[in-house]
Amino acid sequence: MAKEIKVPDLGVNVETVVILKWMKEVGDEVKMGDVLCEVETDKAATDLESVAKGVLLKKLFDEGAEVEKDTVIAYVGEAGEAVPE
Amino acid sequence: MSDNKYSLEFLLEMYRKMVLIRQFEDRVKFLFLEGIMPGTIHQCQGQEASAVGVCMALNEDDVITSTHRPHGHAIAKGVSIQSMMDELFGKITGCCKGKGGSMHIGDLDKGMIPAVAIVGGNIPLATGAALAFKMRKEKRVAVSFMGDGATNEGAFHEAVNMGAIWNLPVLYVVENNLYGASTPVGMVVRTKNISDRAAIYDIPGVTVDGNDPIAVYEAAQEAVARARRGEGPTLLELMTYRITGHSRRDPALYQPKDEKQRAKENEPIGRFRKYLVGNDLTSADVLDKIDAEIEEEIEKVVVQAQKAADPKPEDALEDMFVESI
Ligand SMILES: Cc1ncc(C[n+]2csc(CCOP(=O)(O)OP(=O)(O)O)c2C)c(N)n1
Ligand SMILES: [Mg+2]
């Protein structure tokens, strides 16, 4: 099953992050811990690492988007697998 | 690394333990990122060789004390990873019955006094354990693991001085990972090496490549032998690097990119693999198989830990005092 990649809890008082740059394209192979994108909190820029392995199936936000903590931003799973709309 | 004088079994055990630590830490990191595991955590990816090299030079009944970054030391000393994972999930089956969490991992039956998160706080404890061994005329040794930052605490100087004047069977092991949280060691320590600080207590001070498990093992062996002979403590400085944040949410932006890159190339597991395979001591296949076995073992441990029971409120009143250790 495709696994949800969410914005993790990045610290006290961090409620939203801005997606600065996607480091993977849809279709790219992803290992656990690979950096999926760079995000910025109000304190610093940091890497968002994948907590799943497989292929990047879908990105739900563009660069520059502001996203709340716990929001699903991408799916990682087996190539060709369906992802929720 | 010098010419090999160790059995393949010994070398593979060294490798297996380092990989067990790395994979345990990585798995825990992902559990945190997914929001499955609560709290904060200090991890030791990149510092595995120091824990393993030192603990392989110890006997089962020797004791260690550790810090806010204790997982590697615990695994190296033989604390079960199931009891550790259960502890991290706060379960009653955890090594501290779910009351301690990450920073208080330990198991007296395995020779690990539960870790102390107060920087420097574990150094007098190891010294006290060593004093007990000496007074009881037991041939046991105590080890205090600490960070570079801890060597600026008063507790360090008081404890090392006491260990020195009474020739106690103790090793003061400094894992110098170049930072105390975000503070570079050079900003807060004037001497070139932290081991130079041994001179004022008139004990041996040695600086060793802490990412070479064999070099660490040999230095620890010598210090342990000295301690067992009743000749007193050694200050062992192990040069290493933390290839992860200080704590869970630390992006470690104070670590320069090129320094980080060099550290990744110098991390102990990759280096040891190259040594073992490059010297035809074993094959990559054998090592990959060990990696895969450990991955499977850890997966089972995670599943089991999540199923384990929570402590009950009344359990909070248990284990308040111990008679003796
Ligand atoms: C007495 C005390 N002061 C401050 C802290 C907060 N703190 C936790 S870890 C740490 C840095 C310790 O650095 P070091 O001893 O080098 O160990 P490392 O984290 O590098 O393993 C600090 C300042 C603490 N836990 N205890
Ligand atoms: Mg340090």
Residue B116 lies in a domain: yes
Residue-level pLDDT at A42: 82
Sign of CA dihedral B152, B153, B157, B163: negative
Is B289 inside any structural domain?
yes
* C-alpha distance from residue A25 to each of A30, A58, A74, B262 (Å): 10, 9, 11, 27
> Does ligand 1 have an atom closer than 6 angstroms to the CB of B277?
no
User: CB A51 to CB B253 under 8 A?
Assistant: no
Q: Domains in chain A, please, with CATH?
A: 3-77 (2.40.50.100)
- Let me know if residue B2 belongs to a domain: no
Q: What is the CATH classification number for the domain harbouring B28?
A: 3.40.50.970
Lowest mean pLDDT among B65-69, B266-270, B317-321: B317-321
Q: What is the pTM of this model?
A: 0.93
pLDDT at B37 over 70: yes
How far is the centre of ligand 2, averaged over its atoms, from the C-alpha of B31 (Å)? 24
State the pLDDT at residue B325. Answer: 59
**What total of structural domains would you count in chain B?**
1
pLDDT digits (tens, 9 = 90+) for B132-182: 999 999 999 999 999 999 999 999 999 999 999 999 999 999 999 999 999
- Partner-chain contact B35 A45, CB within 8 Å: no
Residue B290 lies in a domain: yes
Instruction: Give B21's contacts (C-beta < 8 A, 6+ positions apart).
Output: B44, B48, B51, B52, B71, B72, B75, B76
The full 3-state SS of chain A, as one line of letters, equals CCEEEECCCCCCCCCEEEEEEECCCCCCEECCCCEEEEEECCCCEEEEECCCCEEEEEECCCCCCEEECCCEEEEEECCCCCCCC
What is the domain extent for residue B148? 8-300
Give a yes or no: residue B271 inside a domain: yes
Calculate Rg over the CA atoms of chain B.
19
Interval between CA A60 and ligand 1 midpoint (Å) = 39
